[in-house]
Amino acid sequence: MKTIAIIVAGGVGSRMHQDIPKQFINVYDKPVLIYTMEGFQKHPLIDEIYVVCIEGWHDVVWAYSKQFGIDKLRDVIAGGESVQESIRNGVFRVESTAADEDIVIIHDGIRPMIDEMVLTDIIIKAR
């Protein structure tokens, strides 16, 4: 049984009025999305990470993953026109490789404050 994280980072952050999507804005020399990914990378019960991302930023996600040691990343998937479509794209991609007993956790890429104990509790309850 695997535990798979789908991180949705498909938004453009238009309310932020920045030149880049908010998930790629640097905070203390690191993109917000990487803080989120690190929370899942460091968790011992997370086996794989998939990121759903806006078009044109896939190579950036792969490059940041390499730079910051995110080796659980398995794929970067194209986002949709809405959050719901982006989640659907991620679930459809994971569905092609996941077993029936695998657990899939969906998380917003712009929310980097991942509490290890809360994540552990979610996984245990899902099992």
Alpha-carbon span 14 to 29, nearest angstrom: 22
Number of domains in the chain: 1
User: Across the chain, where does the E strand assignment appear?
Assistant: 3-9, 48-53, 73-78, 103-108
pLDDT at 12 over 70: no
Write the pLDDT tens digit of every residue in 73-117: 999 999 998 899 999 999 999 998 999 999 999 999 999 999 999
Beta-bridged to residue 5, according to DSSP, are 49, 105
Q: Which amino acid is at 2?
A: K
* Both structure tokens of 104: 């899939």
Share of the chain above pLDDT 90, in %: 80
Which domain range does residue 69 map to? 3-126
Q: What is the CATH number of the domain that holds 69?
A: 3.90.550.10
Give yes or no for a contact between 105 and 11, defined as CB atoms under 8 angstroms apart: no
Share of the chain above pLDDT 70, in %: 93
Beta-bridged to residue 9, according to DSSP, are 53
The three-class DSSP label of residue 29 is: coil
Beta-bridged to residue 56, according to DSSP, are none
Given this model, what pLDDT does residue 15 score? Answer: 53
Task: Give me the chain's average pLDDT, please.
Answer: 91
Alpha-carbon span 65 to 78, nearest angstrom: 17
